[in-house]
Amino acid sequence: MSFEANKSTNIELLSDAINSFNKVSDTLVQYYRSLEEKVTALTQEVDHKKQLLNSILDSIDIGVVFFDSNGIIRMINRSVEELLSVTEAEIIGRSSLGVVIDGDLMIPKNSKPFHALISRRDVYDKAGMIIGNVLIFKDISRIKELETINERNRRLTAMGELVMKIAHEIRNPLGSIELFASLLQADLKENSQADYVKRISNSVRSLVNTLDNMLSFAREIKPNINLQYIRPVINEAIDELAGTLENNRVACKIHCKGDYSVPIDKGLIKQALLNILINAIQAMKDGGIISIRIGNTKIDHKTFLYIKISDKGIGIEKQRLASIFEPFYSTKDRGTGLGLSITASIIKAHKGYITVDSKINKGTVFTLHIPFDIENGGIL
């Protein structure tokens, strides 16, 4: 073969090799681009899942901390930051949260201690190898608080039942003492010892009223509703306090034209009136007149009977007015603080309400509002 022929053959072979190389290069470029697109898609998917996982972890009210196999903190969620008053930058890379754990009590360095439900578990990879562990904790302070309240309520209920039993046992002999004191007072008349008997009667009446309040507080108030004329109920309450009124130089004056028939529990309403009248008597150290006005009024298209009881006593400080209907709150040095609370509960049980207005050294006005149908229970 001539030199020229060999040269031509070699050029053709070289050209084929270059073409083959170019084809392989094009294939490799396409493959690389395809791989690059897949890597980009996978990276985006991983980023999306990571963001989704972080969003889920940040949305739960449970603290989550991940430690790697060397015990270094690599991840925390937002609840950890909020519960421990720390930032991610302060915690990541450390080997400790800086928290003292005493039983179920977590004591952070930067925030107040709280009760927590705490759990710690190992984390495994697909091959079953431990790659770290996760600490999970949930603030259960509110649950602990509710458990304490529940236990307190349970004890109060038990104490209430005991008080009811004791009160019933005491109330019966007190009734006898009050009766015999009244009979003795009638026999003594103007005798010098009659005043002592009056004091006994007053003390017994006060104690009976206190026991009635305690019994009412210890049980749910369920009115036995019947139509009753209100004026006789008020008169009965005044009559029961006759001795106390006389001894304290206090008189009651009723202002009412006619009478009203209203749906009430007579015994409960009388108890409510007694509580307010006793307060009024105690407020007027130098005696005086308690004014009782009865009428009706319309409020929000509803008709209410009102009983307005006014005294000219020492009054109640403005800042105390908001609390006087709370159980065990008293403006006096002595007393259970139950009277006005029971009164408010009685009126509420009748679907009514009570208001108070008071000025220091000028007196106090309590107004009871009880709903009724004026067409069927109106003025006589």
Tell how far CA 246 is from the center of its chain. 44
Q: Which residues pair with 228 in a beta bridge?
A: 262
Q: Angle, to 10 degrees, between the axis of helix 194-218 and the axis of helix 141-188?
A: 150
In contact, 300 and 316? CB cutoff 8 Å: no
Tokens encoding 131 = 């790659």
- Beta carbons within 8 Å of 235's beta carbon, 6+ residues apart: 254
- Residue-level pLDDT at 333: 59
Q: What per-residue confidence (pLDDT) applies to 379?
A: 47
Which residues make Cβ contacts (< 8 Å) with residue 79, sequence separation at least 6? Answer: 58, 60, 61, 62, 63, 64
- Please give the model's pTM, rounded to 2 decimal places: 0.54
What digits encode the pLDDT tens for the residues 275-292? 999 999 989 988 999 999
Positions in the chain whose pLDDT score sits under 70: 1-10, 189-192, 202, 206, 214-215, 217-219, 328-329, 331-337, 374-380
Q: Which residues of 330-341 are buried (b: 16+ CB within 10 A; e: fewer)?
A: bbeeebbbbbbb
Pairing of strands 130-139, 114-124: antiparallel
